[in-house]
A and B are shown apart, each in its own frame.
Chain A
């Protein structure tokens, strides 16, 4: 299953991203992403469906909650970073 992963700076940031998107009708669960995605150790991320990325990013920017980085999760479990 493919999806986008929006990397946040903290759990609080991830929670707020998740709540903002859920309120906008976008399913967005926050969770711990694989540590290998960052070089700084533990982080949190929000997962959104493939078709929801533009709306999600737009909504988050409006709320001042833009993600630190965005990754595309491929069906084989690998991740590739999306340039913003």
Chain B
């Protein structure tokens, strides 16, 4: 199979990832629940995972790295902690349902949406400068659009938030492991990300990275192995946000994914993925029967296209029959499609990982020629 659906889940993992999960299942239990070797091994693993993530993502300290089940879990925790009915928030026009549905579910939240032309970073930065004022309770913004691979000017957006004292929640689902995510430098309240995409970890893992001083309210309450007589959840991280038995086995895989990303290097990962995506974009643009939404800077790991001769879903099916994995539809981000004008049709999305090759992209172009 040629796999171009890594923006949903990376399929090919570094060999160390499944090995670590398998090893952890038979050797590790849960940190903080016992003081025996199996629990201590688990505790050591969790701290190494937090430390690795803190170093990769510029987090003040390992305690501020919260192991979650997904980016959605982390975003819900952060958004519900900061935003209440009656508040005003600012979001980009490229947000995922993990953000928009959560805001909708809180109810009564006034939402300022910063739109802007696709890949026009200057316009987006200016939009945030205009939209963020003293009335805004939080800015919630995707770093990279999961639909279009558009990386928003987060340094500028974070600068606006710092200058105006507004907490920034970053959805780094699509950028983690590809672009620098710098929680402390941005001065962000937090950044949320999944483990199973660009970090090459298992599904069911994720990270919520809290900036200095941001201690969100917990979504879940329960045992933490600490302060057990006290009925309030602990007021310190990570315990405050990690009630219940932790996914240590998932964290073992995630740790190896994080190590892989760090040892490979973001620049090398980015270069490989964008090289592959550029081959696809250039090939499809030459055909004339696709609308191609490619990054003019050629720095994207994701490519959305609109086939003009058949619906995206039909083409995705045909590609699947030929052994090519892509994704068609709205990609759980109807707002992004509305912003770009593809809400009625959706798009066909190719998304690369560092394991893809330009030859695979050429092979897909060859298959499309025959369809």
Interface residues of A (CB under 8 A from B): 9-13, 15-16, 19, 31-32, 39-44, 64
Contacts and interface: CB of A to CB of B under 8 A. Distances in A.
Given A31-B35, A32-B35, A12 B228 contact: no
Contact of A16 (B62, B224, B228, B234): B62
Nearest to B229: A41
B239 A10 contact: yes
Nearest to B63: A12
Contacts of A44: 32, 226
Contacts of A13: 63, 236
Interface string B213-234: 0000000000011111110001
A15 B43 contact: yes
A42 B33 CA distance: 9
Contacts of B47: 12, 15-16, 19
Nearest to B223: A42
Contact of B227 (A12, A19, A40): A40
A12 B62 contact: yes
Contacts of A43: 226-227
Contact of A15 (B44, B230, B239): B44
Interface string B23-56: 0000000011001000000011011001000000
Contacts, number: 56
Nearest to A19: B47
B230 A41 contact: yes
B63 A42 contact: no
A42 B228 contact: yes
B238 interface: yes
A29 B359 CA distance: 53
Q: Determine which residue in A11, A39, A40, A64 has the highest number of CB atoms from chain B within 10 A of its CB, and name it.
A: A11
Interface string B59-103: 001110000000000000000000000000000000000000000
Contacts of B43: 11, 15
Closest 10 CB pairs of A and B: A41-B228, A41-B229, A11-B32, A42-B228, A40-B227, A15-B47, A32-B35, A10-B226, A10-B239, A40-B230
Q: Determine which residue in A9, A12, A19, A40 has the highest number of CB atoms from chain B within 10 A of its CB, and name it.
A: A12
Contacts of A32: 35
B230 to A, nearest CB: 5
A40 B35 CA distance: 19
A23 to B, nearest CB: 13
